[in-house]
Chain A
Amino acid sequence: MKRKSWLFSAGLLLIASVAAAASVTVITQQAMLRQDKRFFAPVVTRVPYGESLHVLGSEGDWLRVYYQNRNGWIHTGEVKQQKITLSTLTAQGASGTAQDEVALAGKGFTPEVEEAFRKKNPSMQFNLVDKVESFRVSDKTIRAFLERGNLKEPGGA
C-alpha cells in the first residue's frame, strides 16, 4: 500500500512538471513571435490571446517557441506557463489552444462584465478610452526615437 501510494505521488508530480514545462499560453491581446530574442527583431507572426505555444528552449527573458509550423522567440512577459487541466492531460483540448484554461482564467472581469457596467453607467466615456488605446507606436518609431536621443535599446537576452 505504502509503495503504491508513493508511486502515485511521484507519477502525479512527473505529469505536472512535464506538462507544465512543455507549453505556454499567450496572455496579451496580441503577442509577437520574433526572429530573434530582441524587442525590435522582425516579427515572424502575431499570436492572439489564449493561444498555446510549444516551448523549444529559453535564453534570458526570451523563450524559443513553435507555433503553427513556425519557430520564433517570444518574451516571457507575453506568456504564462500553461496550467494543467483535465482536458490537457487527456488531450481533449481544442485545436492546440488552452481554451478551457483561458475561459477559467478570464471568467471574472470580462468584456461581458464591462458591457453590463456600461449599461449601468451610460455616461462613462468609454469612447475616449478607445481613442486613448488607439495611440500606438511601431517598433520602427520607438527604435528611431531611441537612436535620435542617444539612448540604449532595451531588452535582449
Chain B
Amino acid sequence: MSEKIISWLSFAITALLLLPACAEVVQVGTTMGHGAGVITSEQKGSIDRTAIKSERAARPITDREEYYLGRAVAATILGQYRLYLNERTTNYLNRLGNALALASDRPFTYGGYHFAVLDSEEVNALACPGGIVFITRGMLKRAANEEELAAILAHEIAHVNHKDGLAAIKQSRWVEVVATLGGGATREFSGGQLDKLATLFEGSVNDVAKTLIINGYGRKQELVADRSAMIFMHRLGYDPNGLTDYLAKLAGQQETGAGKGLFATHPDMSYRLVKARGFISENNWPRQNHLVRDSRFHRYL
C-alpha cells in the first residue's frame, strides 16, 4: 500500500469517527488537511458531503421538537375528549405523577410532566410525547388505591421515557423533515420550507394520535412499559403489586368492555398480568401494607 493511500485512509477513518459528533468538525479537519496538502480538494469535498449526509440521516428528534409534537397530539386528544377540570383530583394526580417521573429513567423533558383527567367513562390512559399524560374518569374509577393509580401513571411515564409515541411516526416523514431543513445554520424558514414542515408535522401528529387512540402500542412496548413502571414504583417505595392488581381487574373486565378505549388498544391484558407477576416474583418484592396511602387516596378521589 502506498504512503499516499495510507495517509488518505488514516484521515478518512478519523473523519468517519467524528461523523456522529458533528459534520462541521469534519469540515474544520478537511479544511486543515487540504491546506496542509494531506488531501486533495476532491477528497475534501467527498468527506464533507458524506459527513453532512450522515449527520442529516442520523439526526434524532430533539426534546424540544418532541415537546411541540406532544402539544399537538394533546390538542388532538382534547378535540375528542372533554377535559375534566377538578382541582382536587388534578392536584393529587400531578403530585403523584411528578413524584413518579422523578423516579423514572427520564426525570426531565423539555416541558416537564403534566397529568390531566378526561371526562369519559371509557377506560383509557394516553401518554403524549414530551410528558402530557391523560387518564379518563372511567380508568380512575377502577383504581382501588394509590398503588394502582401509581401503576397506571408509572406505565404512561414509561411510554414517555421510551419515546414510544415518537416511534409511531413513519420513518419516511422524518427523513423528509431532515431533507427539508437542509444543512444551513440559519434560523429563519423560507415560506415553502415552513409549509412543508407544517404538513410533515401534521402527518407526524396524526401518526402518534392514531397509535394512541386507535391502534395502541405493540405487545413488546407494553411489556417493557409495565416492567419499567414496576421499577419506578419500587424506587419510590410503592408496592409494584399495584400493577398486577389493576391488570387482574382489567383482564376480568376485558370481555365486557371489548372494543372500547384501553380494551381495544391493549388486547393482551392477561398476558401482561402473567409477565408482571413473573417480574415481581423474580425480584422478590413482597406485598406491602399501604394503609397511609390508601387513606390519602380515598380523601382525594
In the complex with contacts A132-B83, A154-B103, A8-B18 CB distance below 8 A: no
A28 engages B109 (CB within 8 Å): yes
A5 engages B7 (CB within 8 Å): yes
B3 engages A2 (CB within 8 Å): yes
Instruction: Give chain B's interface residue range (CB within 8 Å of chain A).
Output: 35 or more
- Cβ-neighbour of B108 out of A75, A121, A125, A152 (below 8 A): A75
A77 engages B95 (CB within 8 Å): no
- Cβ-neighbour of A108 out of B27, B102, B177, B186 (below 8 A): B177
A-B contact count (CB 8 A): 225
Q: List residues of chain A with CB within 8 A of the CB of B106.
A: 77
Instruction: Give chain A's interface residue range (CB within 8 Å of chain B).
Output: 35 or more
A9 engages B98 (CB within 8 Å): no
A123 engages B79 (CB within 8 Å): yes
- Cβ-neighbour of B38 out of A5, A31, A104 (below 8 A): A5
Q: List residues of chain A with CB within 8 A of the CB of B168.
A: none
User: Taking CB as reference atom, which chain A residue is nearest B197?
Assistant: A113
- Measured CA separation A11–B293 after assembly (Å): 59
A36 touches B (CB below 8 Å)? no
Residues on A close to B: CB < 8 A?
A: 1-2, 4-6, 8-9, 11-13, 15-16, 20, 27-29, 31, 39, 49, 75, 77-78, 83-86, 89, 100, 103-114, 116-117, 120-121, 123-126, 128-129, 131-133, 135-137, 141-142, 145-146, 148-152, 154-155
Residues on B close to A: CB < 8 A?
A: 3-4, 6-8, 10-11, 13-15, 17-18, 21-22, 24-25, 27-29, 32-33, 36-38, 61-65, 67-69, 71-72, 74-76, 78-79, 83, 85, 90-91, 94-96, 98-99, 102-103, 106-112, 114-116, 132, 146, 177-178, 181, 185-187, 189, 194-195, 197-198, 201-202, 204-205, 235-238, 290, 292-293, 296
